[in-house]
Amino acid sequence: MSDDTRDQGKKMALRAAAPQSHREQAYKYYLRKNVVPLVFLVLCVCGGYFSGLSLPFLISEIITRMARNSFMVISLIIPILAGMGLNFGIVLGAMAGQLGYVATANYEMAGLPGFLATIIISIPLAILFGWLTGKLFNQSKGKEMITGIILGFFANGIYQLIMLYFMGNIIPIRVPTMLLSTGIGIRNTLDIKNMHYALDNLWKISIKIPGFVFPITIPMVTLATVAVLCVAIHFLVRTKLGQEFRAVGQNRHIAEVAGIKVDKIRIIAIIFSTVLAGIGQVIFLQNLGNINTYGSHVQVGTFAVAAILIGGASVTKATISQALLGTLLFHTLFIVSPLAGKNLIGDAMIGEYFRVFVTYGVIGVALALHAWQAKQKRR
């Protein structure tokens, strides 16, 4: 065999190996990039199998949770885009939504008008809370996430003061059943049954599957509302304001040199997030039909942050698809883990403990990775 023939054979072998090597690298990159969603997908499938839940019931529950929780998770995207990390301050938006419900319940409003009035009341409150949060974040650049967590605790104290002391004492309450037996302070559970399913029941489809007891229920208007929000954010990031969000998120100094008012853009991002969180809480509570006055808002930030991280987002990058995927996986795990724990070990609390471990574990790992990446960039 001549040298030319051997060289030609080597070249052909290298050409054949190159695409395979490229594919292997692509697979490895895909797995590395999506390892968190894939792990949770496996957990959800295994949990669903061992829970013993029927498929129609599980699908119906997942759709319901997607409809009532997606809005809140999507509210985290804009601050991440603007380089402010995970906005734990959305707790203040949830408080705005609940204060809106207190106002409409006080005037015994019902149905869709009461629901819309609640949103209208919550928006100016959320704008105020968002503006104050944004001003605070501008004084703590680089530490927005821990600032948001502490701010949530501080705001919760003021919220409880208003609910326990101002309501019925300084702020008049027209409906006596809303108050504690002392006549001062809102009860632990606020009934909003007059607005229960105000949005969900506008157009609801039930699909019956032969052989199964539970039909699949789809709240079309609620899902359409989430879809409209997704489309709005998709177009927002392509506007001049959206490009300014991106520029500030990529490099604050360069954005400032380019003439962008960085502090103003950051405040606008937080206001957007807080307002969306307030509307999201209103949607969430109309599905439940009651408010845990002193607890419904407490875990809002933690659960929303965990959901978007499970979808594959990070502290510096998040998309609508990641928010929706994370909501799907996180709440599927919420549904199946107690029953899976009970069927496997005989104790439903094992599933609950695992759920809590997952929630805080995912957040802890994300924050640790963010700190490590920031350290690597400084070197």
Q: Is a pLDDT exceeding 90 seen at residue 281?
A: yes
The pLDDT assigned to 218 comes to 92
Whole-number pLDDT of residue 7: 57
Domain limits at 76? 58-296
> Over pLDDT 90: what percentage of the chain?
60
Q: Any idea how long the chain is?
A: 379
Looking at the structure of the chain, the number of domains it has is 1
Contact 101, 95 (CB under 8 A): no
CA distance 135 to 45: 44
Q: Please check the confidence at residue 192 and state whether its pLDDT lies above 60.
A: yes
In this structure, is residue 4 part of a structural domain?
no
Q: Please report whether residue 95 resides in a domain.
A: yes
- Give residues with Cβ within 8 angstroms of 118, minimum separation 6: 97, 100, 101, 103, 104, 109, 195, 282
> Worst-scoring range by mean pLDDT, 7-21, 139-153, 186-200, 240-254?
7-21
The least confident of 80-84, 134-138, 229-233, 309-313 is 309-313
Q: Report the mean per-residue pLDDT for the chain.
A: 87
Quickly state the pLDDT bin for 199 (edges 50, 70, 90). very high
Q: What would the DSSP string read from start to end of 3-27?
A: HHHHHHHHHHHHHHHHHHHHHHHHH
Q: Is residue 124 part of a domain?
A: yes
- On whether the CB atoms of residues 80 and 323 are closer than 8 A, the answer is no
Q: What pLDDT shows up at residue 333?
A: 86
Per-residue model confidence (pLDDT) at position 349: 74
pLDDT of 8 over the 70 cut: no
The whole-number pLDDT of residue 84 equals: 93
Q: Which two tokens stand for residue 249?
A: 């998120």
Report CA-CA distances (Å) from 10 to 1, 5, 13, 20, 347. Answer: 13, 9, 5, 16, 62
67-115 tens-digit pLDDT: 999 999 999 999 999 999 899 999 999 999 999 999 999 999 999 999 9
Q: How far is 101 from 348, CA to CA, in rounded Å?
A: 33
**Distances 281 to 26, 110, 227, 286, 362 between C-alpha atoms, Å:** 40, 17, 17, 9, 23
User: Which of 6-15, 145-154, 334-343 is predicted least confidently?
Assistant: 6-15
What is the value of pTM for the model shown?
0.89
Structure tokens at 303: 């659960």
Q: pLDDT tens-digit profile of 317-341? A: 899 999 999 999 989 988 888 888 7
pLDDT beyond 60 at 310: yes
pLDDT of residue 31: 74
Question: pLDDT for 250-277, tens place per residue?
Answer: 999 999 999 999 999 999 999 999 999 9
- Is residue 110 assigned to a domain? yes
Q: What is the pLDDT of residue 15?
A: 55
**Between 307 and 377, the higher pLDDT residue:** 307
Give yes or no for residue 353 having a pLDDT over 90: no
* pLDDT surpasses 90 at 184: yes
Is it the case that residue 364 has pLDDT exceeding 90?
no
Whether the CB-CB separation of 223 and 67 falls below 8 Å is answered with: yes
User: Is residue 280 a part of any domain in this protein?
Assistant: yes
Whether the pLDDT of residue 66 is over 90: the answer is yes
Percent of the chain with pLDDT over 70: 90
**Distance of alpha carbon 283 from alpha carbon 265, whole angstroms:** 27
SS3 268: helix
Distances in whole angstroms, Cα of residue 146 to Cα of each of 85, 127, 332: 10, 21, 28
The rounded distance, in Å, linking the Cα atoms of 141 and 72 is 24
32 assigned to some structural domain: no
CA distances, 235 to each of 131, 239, 240, 269, 320 (Å):
23, 7, 10, 15, 12
Mean pLDDT on 350-362: 73
Contacts by residues 59-64 (CB-CB < 8 Å, ≥ 24 positions apart): 59/216, 60/214, 60/215, 60/216, 60/217, 61/335, 62/328, 62/331, 62/332, 62/335, 63/216, 63/217, 63/218, 63/219, 63/223, 64/217, 64/219, 64/287
DSSP letter at 162 equals I
State mean pLDDT over 22-51.
80
pLDDT tens column, 12-25: 554 555 555 677 77
Q: Is the pLDDT reported for residue 294 higher than 90? A: yes
Residue 30 lies in a domain: no
Q: Is residue 153 part of a domain?
A: yes
- Token pair 């006596």 is found at 176
pLDDT for 6: 58
